[in-house]
Amino acid sequence: MKSFIRLSLSMALILLATSFLFSCGKKSEEEVIKIGYGGALSGDLASYGIPSKRAAEMVINKKNAEGGLLGKQIILLAEDDVCRPEVATNTATKLATEGVVAVIGHICSGATISALGIYNNTNTVCISPSATSPTITQSGEYPVFFRTIAPDDAQAKLQVDFALKQLNLKKIAILHDRGDYGRGLAEFAKKYIEEAEEAEVVLYEGVTVGAVDYTAVVQNIRRSQADAVIFGGYHPEASKILMQMRNNNMDTIFISADGIKADTFIRIAGEYAEGVYATGPVDVSTNPLATEAHKQHVEIYGDEPGNFFLNAYAATMALINAIEKAGSTDSAAIMNALRTEYIDTPLGSISFDKKGDAIGVGFSMYQVQDGIFVELP
């Protein structure tokens, strides 16, 4: 009997402790606001994703130090999608299941489109610093999506105008990596060249991602007698194609976009990167907020911020501001605030139009000069 009493007392104490821990955990959940991050944190394109995650961490830590958001602390839940569409769906599902009120990301357009199917269903706001595919906003299929970078149709227009009006090119080869980002960029470039009627597209071809040897592609470029190549895709393929072109004594001009405008491309391509052109977000390094964010990054992480760092910093600032202005984590209220409120960011004063595109951002043309990308006037 005594043993039974002792056992019952022990069970009661366990149940009481469990109940206490559960209630504490529940209270803790109610006292935080969860924001997600989705993007490449490993693999070939991690150099695009890690800077964005760091930017989100910095903005969130600063806000928490100031007292938090709506009287609560913010926590960042980060998931790696490796910039692969098939992984991004699982990444988005996990973040939505964790109860995030919004997501900073994703990084690559293909992965973003895959993730948006989940975010649409769960009504989760998503702000990307780098997904530039025009379809995402122009299709009207993803009302929860916003971005702090201009779309690829604007980027392709700048490339073509520069090629035709500044470089006076007449024969252009267009290559792409067959992905949502690269193919979309190439399609717009082809469209704008054909509409201009000042030059001709002498080659239009998709390349295999991850291939080691692009000899066949390079020979096709040579046979086309192209004055320049416009490439839609990312730095792993761009650097290989460029290096093989130069090793085959081809001085064909190489023009690409923000998918290669990174120190990683220059490190891989080495001396062959010299003279390459690439479009990318307008240089805002003289903006005081950009200067401060850059300084803090160096102090915290000990190195230079990478691609899309400032775009992600601005995205996180805009999201937090929208939640604050809405006075709520309700997705409809957040989206309304994003579209109606302006906020000063490292990119300048920005807001978003009804499609989710940022107002107040744009692209510039850059060229690799003495081993660094330099913005051209």
Give the tens place of pLDDT for each residue, 101-126: 999 999 999 999 999 999 999 999 99
Domain ranges of the chain: 33-149+285-361, 153-274
The encoded tokens of residue 34 equal 């969860």
Element (H, E) at 107: none
pLDDT at 19 over 90: no
Contact 22, 89 (CB under 8 A): no
Mean pLDDT of 165-183: 97
Q: What is the pLDDT of residue 29?
A: 57
Q: Do domains 33-149+285-361 and 153-274 have the same CATH topology?
A: yes
Distances (CA, A) of 294 to 95, 152, 303, 374: 28, 26, 10, 18
pLDDT band at 276 (very low <50, low <70, confident <90, very high): very high
Residue with tokens 């803790």: 28
Residue 6 has pLDDT above 70, yes or no: no
Which stretches does DSSP call E strand in the chain? 32-39, 73-80, 102-105, 125-128, 145-147, 171-176, 200-206, 228-232, 253-256, 277-281, 343-345, 348-352, 358-359, 363-369, 372-375
Contact 314, 282 (CB under 8 A): no
pLDDT of amino acid 30: 73
Average pLDDT, the chain: 92
CA angle 258, 264, 270 (to 5 degrees): 110
Give the SS3 label for residue 69.
Answer: strand
- Residue 325 carries which side chain, given as an amino acid letter? K
pLDDT score, position 22:
33
Considering the entire predicted model, what is its pTM?
Answer: 0.87
Tokens, residue 7: 């056992």
CATH 3.30.70.20, domain 153-274, yes or no = no
- Which single residue is written with the structure tokens 């980027």? 155
Distance separating alpha carbons of residues 200 and 164, to the nearest angstrom: 10
Rounded to the nearest 5 degrees, what angle is found at the Cα of 246, between the Cα atoms of 243 and 249?
155
**pLDDT at 310 > cutoff 90:** yes
d(CA 90, CA 94): 6
Quick check: bond before 294 cis, omega within 30?
Answer: no
Supply the pLDDT for residue 23: 36
Q: How far apart, in whole angstroms, are the C-alpha atoms of residue 53 and residue 56? A: 5
Query: Is the pLDDT confidence value at 9 over 50?
Result: no
Q: List CB contacts of 242: < 8 A, sequence separation 6 or more.
A: 254, 269, 272, 273, 276
**In the chain, % of residues over pLDDT 70:** 92
Q: CB–CB of 118/126 below 8 Å?
A: no
Q: State the angle between helix axes of 309-326 and 331-340 in degrees (0 to 180), rounded to the nearest 10.
A: 110
Is it the case that residue 230 has pLDDT exceeding 50? yes
Separation of alpha carbons 287 and 285, rounded Å: 5
CA-nearest of 100, 50, 111 to 76 is 100
Output the pLDDT for position 28.
Answer: 55
136, pLDDT greater than 50: yes
Q: Tokens 């490796």 identify what position? A: 82
User: 129 and 315 in contact (C-beta within 8 Å)?
Assistant: yes
CATH 3.40.50.2300 assigned to domain 33-149+285-361? The reply is yes
Which token pair is 68? Answer: 């938090």
Q: What is the 3-state secondary structure (H, E, C) of 226-284?
A: CCEEEEECCHHHHHHHHHHHHHCCCCCEEEECCCCCCHHHHHHHHHHHCCCEEEEECCC
Helix (H) or strand (E) holding 28: helix 2-30
Tens-digit pLDDT profile for residues 349-360: 999 999 999 999
Per-residue pLDDT, averaged over 60-86, amounts to: 98
Which two structure tokens, joined as six digits, stand for 179? 């992905």
Nearest Cα residue to 37 out of 122, 101, 85: 101
pLDDT at 369: 98
Looking at 17-26, 116-125, 257-266, which range is the least confident one?
17-26
Please name which of 219, 203, 281, 211 lies closest in space to residue 239, comparing C-alpha atoms. 211
Helix (H, G, I), strand (E, B) or coil at 190: helix
Q: Measured between alpha carbons, how far is 186 from 159 in angstroms, rounded to an integer? A: 10
β-pairing verdict for 277-281 and 343-345: unpaired
